[in-house]
Structure 1
Amino acid sequence: MQKKLLQRANAGLKLSPQQLLLNDTITGSPRLKTAIANVLNRYVKPATPLKGSHILATNGVASAIEHCSWALCDPGDGVLVGRPYFRGFNRDICLRPGSKLIQVSFDGADPLDVSVASRYEEVIVRSREEGGCAIRAIMPCNPHNPLGRCYSRAFLVELMKICQRYSVHLVSDEIYALSVWRRGRDGEVVMEEFTSVLAIDCDGLIDPALVHVLWRVSKDFGANGMQLGAVISPGNPDLLEAVRGAAQYSSVCGLGDYLTASILNDEEFVDSFVAESNKTLAVNYGYVVAFLDEHGIPYARGSNAGFFIWTDLWVKSRELAEKFALRKVHLGIGEDFGSEQPGWFRITFSQKREWLDEGLKRILDAIGS
């Protein structure tokens, strides 16, 4: 999708001296924040429409996660994440803020089935009763990385109820919100439509001050180098103010601010881009799983979002990873994602066809060795 994005970016590029300065604020220009709000209002349909004042821009979601961890936790406090989880959470939650990533295990159950939402509450209660760390937040990644699925509305509602009972914040990482690329059924797994926590009315369910969303333009638009994310908190201006205090370390580039706002404000382009991107992702997903089926390689079914296939390659992960490295093919290692079972890897399929073909060939070579 980069060619399409570059054509639009180059066609609309008309810089002024303002873009060489710090704009109006290091947390994103009002124009950028309004553009993000408008796109998310159209695509995720929040129960309460977003405004620019609900948003702070950062140089990526890694910074946004770190800022939320710093703002919500004292050193030693915990943030709950369900296994498996995005491996970068360990760094972003813990490294500089000093918070703890507390894993929630599911013992072979589906991590996204509403029946296991109670596991989060069990960890909170156990930590309190046993004198463990204070749990300050639950952080789901929705759509899920690495499973490539969406949490159901019912699951999110259960998480909200738990957060309300224990005054715990719900920080939803939704960086793949516009990359939901397939609907229907996959084998016996019913695929969920994407539901943002912003789309669920908090009235009578949870204090809005406990609900926050993270989003990043870089993922849904295939441009990681743009490094532009957002902390979104319609009900908690104090959190945004706390994040603003650390924003000196995550200020948004003026050129990136201008370019991103220009693209997001072009509704016709955004609609065309998202539709084509999702269609292409669906084709690539089908291509790779057909390859896996042909070679008898198991994978987690039911994906309809994101860029990943969670794949069981049977053998010791570290040993196989070394063989992959020798063949210059990179897969995410399950242990790095908190996998509860050994042998799992994350395949990223959002690549050019010739790259996929070569990568899949090298995977077979490594397994065969």
Structure 2
Amino acid sequence: MKKNKQVLVVGAGLAGSTIARVLADNKIEVKILEKRSHIAGNSFDFINSNNERIHKYGPHLLHCNKNSKALSFLNRFTEWISYEHRVRALLSDGRTTPLPINQITLEDIFNKKFCNEIEVKEFLDSIRNTNLLPSNTDELFECSVGEKLSNIFFRPYTRKMWGIEPNKLSISIGARLPVRTNKDTRYFTDEFQALPKDGYTKMVCNMIDHPLIEVCLNKNFEKGMEKDFDHSFLCVPIDKYFGYKYGMLPYRSILFENRLENTNDQKVAVINFTDNSKYTRKTQWSLLPNSPKKLNKNKTITYEIPCSMDLNPEEYYYPINTKDSNAIFKKYKFLAKNIKNISFCGRTGLFKYIDMIPAVDIHLRMAHKFVNNL
């Protein structure tokens, strides 16, 4: 292996920083280009003037198996504070109820009481369409929980979130939220659930704190830069790189509305809206355990407004996976395979929404494969 092997990584988020650290640990020089003014990508957090830790791009939750290789990797760069995330949905009558749907949710909506999980399952079977073999997200809703619950919890939220009808969305999108027959109100059931003690930004800062890693902020990637390096890992929109040859891949973005409110604490950190307003959810940051004690009674509540990319250019959040968009991506993926010195990564390079631990896991494998092939 050449001593002067140099690699370009575009994007200082979790994906790019994971790759950069693995390469640097293997004596490879890495240059990271980041278009934003900060590292950590969409997991960037900071302490505001009210001494609250804010996730600038919406709440990021880390959850996995205790034996996860990704977790073992991240353990090198942070200590953890245990946190089991909970979400409640705001109903039309002002009450809130747990999400994902569970026994308590069903009791709240249908004004019933169940003695055990068998009764809950039997009731669910009586209201859902058990004869339907789902082929899209909307059919999955109907098959899993029936019309009434779909119309309350899923369809309005999904239309706002994705900007299209649920029956146009891949079934994988609807499958992200489980339905439970017990009283477990946790959003995730993984055995390890925690937040970095000093935040995600500090964690990522520690990841890329290496003498062989150079970070350039406020630096846009331009096609052609990759020619100066032995290999490039590009967390960039794959369709943009290829000049939108087969058309643009669709994404949803999010606008954030921060309000300083003097109200009672929310029951949980995140409340989902089930109405037809423009908001999907709101987050009270002071309820997260790695947020310091706020300076006064006021608290920052962040409201999320999903939007088209036109309203928030260059801020990619959620790939819209439909039959048509996935077909377009396959064409770009084929083009990418013919380029030896480039690997596309991250959500825009892979056209895939990736949770935090899977993001680390995928890019650990990608980086180790590169090192092993040298």
Q: TM-score range by the shorter chain?
A: under 0.3
Please report the TM-score for the alignment, with normalisation by the length of structure 1.
0.25
Higher strand share: 2
Please report the TM-score for the alignment, with normalisation by the length of structure 2.
0.25
Higher RCO (CA 8 Å, separation ≥ 6 residues): 2
Give the greater-gyration-radius structure (CA).
Answer: 2
